[in-house]
Chains A and B, each alone.
Chain A
Amino acid sequence: MSEQIYNRESFLTSLAQNLGRSTPKTVERPTWKHQPQWQILKNASQDELVTVFKKQCETIHTDVIETESDQLADVIHERVKSYNGKSISAWKDERFHQYDIFSKTDATIHKWDPRMKDNVAQTESADIGITFCDLALAESGTIVLFSNENQGRSVSLLPTTYIALVPKSLIVPRMSQATRKIHLLMKEGEFPATCVNFISGPSNSADIEMNLVVGMHGPIRTTYVVISNL
């Protein structure tokens, strides 16, 4: 079935009529009079951004570990052990190899591979999902993930525990910088991903008597590992 747009003309024509004109060919997006978003953490250094990022993680029930790339194998080993993790699902990412990240843990590693038949099932049954991030936002303690064939959406979603590796240089003040980057990529015709996820901590719900319960449909526990030399 090829892509289709149904009923557009009649729908938009009557809308234009109510707007009292015909649909314009182009519309200039105005320069917004108020732009408070750019004031937030405006002149913050990278170190200050890390401080803000870590502070915010306290609010969103997320553990943060700061380390250097040569310590990653130890940090992961420790964390996986403390979570009692027997199996890991991870993105297919050169850096795991480059920094020998899984060299110390005894957990079995499933490397995301769309060609494998039980790829998603393996991830679903893994205890821990581990990915790098593509950007991080200091203000909200958020990591940003772009999906692609090597970077499955399920890895940060299906296992009960999730660990994100956050290169310090990828931390920006807030969502504004991330969305501007995506917007500019778009304009150059390089849209980053079919799915962009902004993730701030473990899943949660307050639907029962407004009591916050950490751990709903997504991961129940989350750790961010900030890598200060990357």
Chain B
Amino acid sequence: MPMRIGTTTFNDRIEKGINDEFMRDSVRSAQERLLGKRLDAAEELGSWEDWRNLGEEIRSHTLEYLDYYLYELSEKVKENGGHVYFAKTAEEANHYIQKVVKRKNGKKIIKSKSMVTEEISMNEALESIGCDVIESDLGEYILQVDDHDPPSHIVVPALHKNKSQIRDVFKEKLGYLNTDKPEELTLFAREKLRKEFLSADIGITGCNFAVAESGTITLVTNEGNARLATTLPKTQITVMGMERIVPTWEELDVMISLLSRSAVGQKLTTYVTALSGPKSPLEGDGPEEFHLVIVDNGRSNIIGTEFQEALHCIRCAACINVCPVYRHVGGHGYGSIYPGPIGAVISPLLGGYEEYGELPFASTLCAACTDACPVKIPLHELLNKHRKNIIEGRGLSAEKIAMRGFQYGTTLPILYQVGTKLAPFLSLPFQTNSFLTKGPGPLKAWTTIRDMPAPNNERFRDWFKKRQKEESFE
């Protein structure tokens, strides 16, 4: 699956999300539960602000010296007996992975959850050379079996599906005969997937954090699928976004503590697995061959810009779980595999304003995301910077990013589209900017929308319905 999901317009996606009762209910209850768990976990820990400050400090330092740490990491992986491939683009990464798979004569590939492999469309690349690629994270597996339904959350990918839908998918596609009890569905998937693990030629994983000093990659799961994918197949390929690295094991501790608490409200996830190269020749399990693919795919363009902090992200989804806009439109509304506030910041950076220019406007700038972020990324400020760039008709301040997708012509339609759907949620960046009120043509629509009631006066849903009615009388 590429970063882009769905082919419908922003408007249609949002409308679909708003009208999907189950999806919105499940998003709401998931948000509430995850939020509650995270707050409990943070409180239990005490001095949460100190932890966040430490997290921020570590991420800033690491990104400041990213080239140094990546060098060290690659040296160590080699010392451990592994191979390292630096991929500038998605194509390069996929090409290398295809080459390894072909050389190993790999047919069946078992995967543990990885956002970056989604981002680069790795599954499709492997399927195109005749491989069978099987997702093993339960949520990802459900989506895959359901004809590649896109994920709607970065930690709970099948959040938008209810258990009877899942039962029906299993029934139709896999001949499942039991009830819609989560226990039974889970057991069924366990048994199906265990067989796949035992017969897979190659295991492919993402990487939560690499440790530079020892050439280690770590995988954080509750299900244990990443352990299976790195214990049974003879070849392991790990794909990491180039920023997912820490200097030493001491920082690994901090980042994993922050991730576990912020993502799922646990002190530690059930499994944290730290792998340093292939197994030793005497060991009886683990991969004989290990490849690390380090992916840029647009990330280095963000380095040295006003958006650099976006690369501090540890993909915990805490910002998503507090976002009022996500709550209303759901993950698919964003049209990117990265939804929510962090998605609205990085999707335009990785995919350009032309594709994702609406997303920075899908925010109330209420700053709940910034407060939730365990590494203190100023998300709402970064969103505001995007808006400013778009409204003022310029690209991102670093020209190299500007080249990637921004076109002046796309600006106004973006504003118009976003405006008509999300207006009451927007606290406009430039309320005093006369540019807006004097704007010609399409901007008129935009400026009238500015006067729409604020979200606390009228719930978004109600507003949306009413607005549709009004429009139909026009």
Contacts and interface: CB of A to CB of B under 8 A. Distances in A.
Interface of A: 1, 3-8, 10-12, 14-16, 18-20, 23-24, 27, 29-30, 32-37, 39-40, 56, 60, 112-114, 119-120, 124, 137, 139-142, 147-149, 152-154, 157, 174-176, 178-180, 182-183, 186, 191, 193-211, 213, 215-219
20 contacts: A4-B83, A4-B84, A6-B86, A6-B96, A33-B54, A113-B284, A114-B283, A120-B284, A186-B213, A186-B214, A194-B275, A198-B268, A198-B271, A199-B270, A202-B270, A205-B222, A207-B158, A208-B142, A210-B156, A217-B193
A18 to B, nearest CB: 4
Nearest to B279: A194
Nearest to B289: A1
A154 to B, nearest CB: 5
B254 A37 contact: yes
A19 B47 contact: no
B450 interface: no
Given A149-B282, A216-B224, A5 B83 contact: yes
Interface of B: 26, 29-30, 33-34, 45-47, 50-51, 53-54, 57-58, 61, 64-71, 74-75, 78, 80-88, 92, 96, 136-139, 142, 156-159, 162-163, 166, 182-183, 185-187, 190, 193-194, 197-198, 213-214, 222-225, 227-228, 230-232, 242, 247-250, 252-254, 256-257, 264, 266-280, 282-286, 289, 294, 296, 300-301, 303-304
Contacts of B78: 3-5
A7 B86 contact: yes
Contacts of A157: 224, 227-228, 231
Contact of B51 (A36, A112, A191, A218): A36
Nearest to A213: B186
A153 to B, nearest CB: 5
Contacts of A113: 284
B142 A207 contact: yes
Contacts of B88: 7, 10-11
Secondary structure class of chain A's binding surface, majority of residues: loop
B58 A32 contact: yes
Contact of B286 (A10, A139, A142, A195): A195
Contacts of A29: 61, 247-248
B242 to A, nearest CB: 8
A180 B249 CA distance: 7
A162 to B, nearest CB: 11
Contacts of A182: 214, 249
Q: Which one of B222, B273, B301 has the greatest number of beta carbons of chain A within 10 Å? A: B222
Contacts of A7: 85-88, 92
A153 B231 contact: yes
A114 B279 CA distance: 12
Contacts of A33: 53-54, 57
Given A29-B248, A175-B268, A216 B68 contact: no
